[in-house]
Structure formats: structure tokens, C-alpha cells
A and B are shown apart, each in its own frame.
Chain A
Amino acid sequence: MAKRVTTKHFFSDTAVLLGRSLRHILRSPDTIITTTVMPIAFMLLFVYVFGGAIHPGSASYVTYLLPGILVIAIASGISYTAFRLYLDMRNGIFERFQSMPVARSSVLWAHVLTSLVANMISIVVVVLVALLMGFRSGAGVLAWLAVAGILILFTLTLTWIAVIPGLSASSPDGASAFSYPLIFLPFISSAFVPTDTMPGPVRAFADNQPVTSIVDTVRDLFARQPVGGDIWIALAWCLGILVAAYAIATATYHRKIA
């Protein structure tokens, strides 16, 4: 077996390709707008329509809700990564890169890092809207950094999941449809309401799925509460899924490029 990856230029190649896909985003800002519109709409709906009837605790409802909305924003944002990857596979530019002396893994990493940048932009937008709606947090710099770290890890995890359909889908809809269940997952978690009013089996699922631990951790960090064991559960979920998704994605990639 010959060497598969030209590692000589990995960093410079990734940087060049990252510049390329960031340009794509700059030139079609609609992809960021559409990924922020849905979470913002959910936030408006839940705060101003349902929110009056929901009393999750002492904090305002928008403050309670924001962590879950951020999870939804990321879940909808990564579908564009799958879509962009699918387009590259389709239109032949991928083959052009593969037949050039380019570090082969750079092609994937450029898409992954682009996803990270795009999602962080949409997260900032959503947080700004939340601030306008009355979100307040007394969190210090460290807590904000911890929130950023968790969200970045979560974005990386979901992005590597997105790479799999991006490489293997046979239609653009197929490439992005996988994100729908991911967007739905926060609804069966502590994102919108505390889980203790849910009936047994639903509550069991909600309490033990990754979104709840992530949402609870971020919420505690915002509220300057001790995060307890949630943060370790959240990190374990993210890292575990990240490793599995990365392995499947790279295996799919190597199969695709022969």
C-alpha cells in the first residue's frame, strides 16, 4: 500500500482550502441567515407565545431557553457542511484536488473548520438576539470560555457526523436531511421545559440523552451555578460520538477516493 496522505503540506493546504470555503460563506450569507432564522424563530415562539405558561424556575424564560436554542442553531448549521461537501464531491473539484499534490485530509478538514467558523458566527447572532429579548447572565470570563469550549466541541462532533452523509449522499436533499432528527432531539430534553413533568419513559430518555447534559451544563455556567457531574457527562458524550463519527467519516472518505 502506498502512502495515502501527503502530509508535507497539510497545514498550508488546509489554510488555502479553508480560505476557499470561507469565501463561499461570505458570498452566500443566506446560508448563515437561514441557519439563524429557525433558532431565533423558536426562541421568539417559545418566549412570547408558550413562555408565559412555562415557569421553569427563578430565571427569566429566555435565559432558561437559550442553551437549547444554541444546540438547535448548531444542529441546523451543520447541514450546510454536508451540503457543501456533497457539491464538491459532485462537481468534480474534489477529483481535481485528489489528482493534485495536495494533502488529502486537508480537503475534509477545510470543510470542518469552515463549519466551526460559520456556526460560531450564527451562535453570536443568536446570543445577541437573546440579549435583546432579556437574556442576562452574570457569568465571568472563565464561564463564558467554558461555554464556548463546549459549544465548539459539540459543533465539531456534529460536523464530523455531517461529513458522512456529505460524502455518501446521492442527492442534495439526502445530504442535509440527516440533520432533522438532530434538530428535533432538543425537544425531548431539558432544553424547553424541566424533564420532571415528563412521563416515565420519555423522562428516562430525556434525562439520559446527550442534549440534556450539554444544555444543563451551559445553563449552569450562565447562571453561575456549580456544573456538577453534568459537564463530564456532556464531554464524554461529545468525545465519544466525535471519535466514532471521525472514524466512520475518514473510512468513508478513503473508500470514496480509492
Chain B
Amino acid sequence: MTLQIVHITGTAQQGGPAISVQGLEKSYKTLKVLRGVDFDVARGSIFALLGSNGAGKTTIVRILATLLRADAGTASVDGIDVAAQPADVRESISLTGQFAAVDEILTGRENLVLIARLRHLKDPGTIADGLLERFSLADAGARRVATYSGGMRRRLDIAMSLIGSPPVVFLDEPTTGLDPQARIEVWQAVRELAGRGTTVLLTTQYLDEAEQLADRIAILHEGRIIVNGTLAELKRLLPPAKVEYVEKQPTLEDVYFAIVGAGGDRSADSTGTADPTSTTDTTNGGQQ
């Protein structure tokens, strides 16, 4: 079966796509990881790169984030070529890697202040306080990150990535290793981000994550993008829907949330369990 790559939605909103990748190739010694990857990401959209472990998702992100050089092909972010002007690209991007890149010995607030200073922004303290509030970390702000739960770390990690409001944000498997509640918190943060006009490139191996968040989904397989489209377009590529009667059992996730009590309103106070001192999570619950 040959899958046709279809680009239906127009991208030219304000001067071309936020991310443009053409013919990208990368090998590690004899292993060909990327064999000619092409895709564009429209400004202000969430684009999900879906693929199994080792498909090359992280390699693409590292090339776009100027951490790695491609063997062939071109990539540009915010209209700037990543190979030719990496220093300028770094002004426009932020990267949230696979593992939360936070400083454990510093407090949450100090982590944010550090990044604000390194981005040469005025008034880093106010920026830090604002983000702590926005990511429901205000009560934990003075605590060392070593005491944080996985979800709190990830939220801090994403908060650090937003300092300086870079127009393009890369999230490399942002929810891998998180519990279901922390995952929903991260999703909330990503949606909010896109709501403010930030372009998000997200990699994930979870199909539901792509389904939940992405405006467009590309499937990376054996070093190439084999499908690229909206969720509706991807569904149209599948065999036509059949009507079957299946007894609907609750999924384990339904059971989990029914017991834990966050099932009906998942975005509600889910920080409560992760951080007993936090009582204000109204930012997350209120905005969607």
C-alpha cells in the first residue's frame, strides 16, 4: 500500500512555515537514521512526530535545535537555516529534551531565574514568579527540585523552556515516564502554549497523545515520513469504518481515575497528589 502524503491545509499565515525540513539525512557510522525527511510546520500549530523508539525522532529534534549537524538536506526554523546560522536559530527556539533538564540542587524558582538571566531578560525574578504561578508551582518554588515529583519536574522543565517566549518550542517525548495525571498536566501546558501562538513540534510514541494535541501528525518510519496530515486525513487513509457492536469495558485509565477521583474533571486539581502543599491549581482547570 502506498500512502500519499497530502498537504491540504494552507500554511502561509505570516511569511512561510515556522519549521521547514527538506531532504534531511543523518547516519551514525553505518546506521542510516534519517533517509530524506521532509515536512513543514505551520506557525502557531502543534505538529506531532510519531514513531517507535529509534525511528529518528530525537535526531530530527537535535538537528533542529542546533545540537547536531545533518549529513544532507536543509532545515530552517523561523525562516533561519539551522546549519548556517545556528546562533540565530537559538534565539528563536527552546528545547525540552527527553529527560527533564532541570538543576536538582537549585530550587524551582532559581532554575527559572537562571534561564531568564541566560536569556538576558530584564527582571528575571518577576518572570520566574509568573511562570511558577502559571504552572501551579508557586508553593513549591522555594523547594529544591530534588524533592519534586516527576510531573512537577516536567512542568518546571516546560516552564523553563518558555522563558523569553521563543516562537518555536521542541518537546521531545514530553510525557514519557510520567503517571497519567502528570501527563494530563503536561498536555494542558502544551495546549495553553499553542493557544498563545507558539509553534510546537512534539515527538511522541503515544498515539493518543498525538491524537489529543496535534493539529497535524507525521509518522516517521525507517527514516522517512510515511504519512503527514491532520487526524481526519489520517483516518481517511484507513479502510472505511465498519459498524460493530462491542461491549464497552472501562479502560484501566477509566478505573484509575474513577478511584483516584479525577476522572470526570481530569484537568482539576491533579497536583494535589503530587504535591501536598499545593492548593492552587486553578490556572490549569480554569483556562480550557
Contact = CB atoms under 8 A, between A and B. Distances in A.
A2 B67 contact: no
B84 A96 contact: no
B66 A99 contact: yes
Interface string A85-103: 0000001110111111110
Given A2-B83, A2-B85, A99-B65, A93 B118 contact: no
A95 B85 CA distance: 18
Interface string B217-250: 0000000000000000000000000000000000
A12 interface: yes
Contacts of A258: 67-69
Contacts of B99: 91-92
A55 interface: no
B110 A2 contact: no
17 contacts: A2-B86, A3-B87, A9-B120, A13-B118, A23-B105, A91-B99, A92-B97, A92-B99, A92-B101, A93-B103, A95-B67, A96-B95, A96-B101, A98-B66, A100-B90, A101-B120, A258-B69
A20 interface: yes
Interface residues of B, number: 34
A20 B114 contact: yes
Interface string A1-23: 01100100100110011001001
Given A2-B84, A20-B114, A258-B67, A99 B90 contact: yes
Contact of B115 (A9, A24, A27, A100): A100
A141 interface: no
A257 interface: yes
A28 interface: yes
Interface in A22-50: 23-24, 27-28
A109 to B, nearest CB: 14
Across the A-B interface, give the 6 residue pairs with the lowest CB-CB distance, nearest first: A92-B101, A96-B101, A99-B95, A99-B65, A16-B117, A101-B90
Nearest to A6: B87
A91 B104 CA distance: 10
A96 B105 contact: no
B121 to A, nearest CB: 11
The range of chain A's interface size is 20 to 34
A20 B90 contact: no
Given A95-B95, A101-B91, A258-B68, A12 B120 contact: yes
Interface in B96-131: 97-106, 110, 114-115, 117-120
Which residue of A2, A96, A97 has the most chain B CB atoms within 10 A of its CB atom?
Answer: A96
A19 to B, nearest CB: 8
B101 A16 contact: no
A3 B119 CA distance: 19
Majority-rule SS of B interface residues: loop
B49 interface: no
Nearest to B97: A92
A97 B90 CA distance: 10
Nearest to A96: B101
Contact of B119 (A27, A93, A98, A100): A100
A83 to B, nearest CB: 13
Given A28-B105, A98-B66, 16 more contacts: A2-B83, A2-B85, A3-B87, A16-B117, A20-B103, A20-B114, A23-B106, A91-B104, A93-B101, A93-B102, A95-B97, A96-B101, A98-B67, A100-B115, A101-B120, A258-B68
B160 interface: yes
B67 A97 contact: no
A99 B94 contact: yes
Contacts of B87: 2-3, 6, 101
A95 B117 contact: no
Nearest to A97: B118
B138 to A, nearest CB: 21
A162 B122 CA distance: 35
A257 B67 contact: yes
Interface in B183-214: none
A91 B68 CA distance: 18
B93 interface: yes
Contact of B110 (A6, A12, A23, A257): A23
Contacts of B68: 258
B93 A16 contact: no
B105 A102 contact: no
Contacts of A16: 114, 117-118
A91 B153 CA distance: 13
